[in-house]
Amino acid sequence: MTMIDIIKWAFLFLALNLLVFSIYFRDKQAARHGKRRISERTLLLLALIGGSLGAVAAQQLLRHKTRKEPFRSILAAILILHGALIAVLAFLPQWSPLLL
């Protein structure tokens, strides 16, 4: 993987997490104003496809769904899964082509 590839992946990762953060923000605003909400399933799916850091950041900074179980536990499990995948990609580069 070249440096340009790494930069592209990092940019996509950042953009996805900013998008997820903004969707969590929108849901928090909808909750405050009694408007239509985004389903928990959708919020967790967004975290699972790569937006876990944005989701956790929104959860902590916006105080959104911090007491809601099992949402909180599932989000933590997704974050751990993503951390494990990053560790595998970083420390076992021969597995990278199989995972990507």
Cis peptide before 93 (omega within 30 of 0): no
pTM of the model: 0.86
* Average pLDDT rounded to a whole number, residues 60-65: 94
CA distances from 4 to 9, 26, 92 (A): 9, 33, 20
Which two tokens mark 91? 């420390």
Residues 25-45 pLDDT 10s: 999 999 999 999 999 999 999
CA distances from 45 to 1, 27, 41, 56, 92 (A): 28, 14, 6, 13, 27
d(CA 5, CA 62): 33
Assign 97 a pLDDT band (cuts: 50, 70, 90).
low
Assign 95 a pLDDT band (cuts: 50, 70, 90).
low
Residues 7-20 pLDDT 10s: 998 999 999 999 99
d(CA 95, CA 100): 9
* Average pLDDT rounded to a whole number, residues 48-62: 96
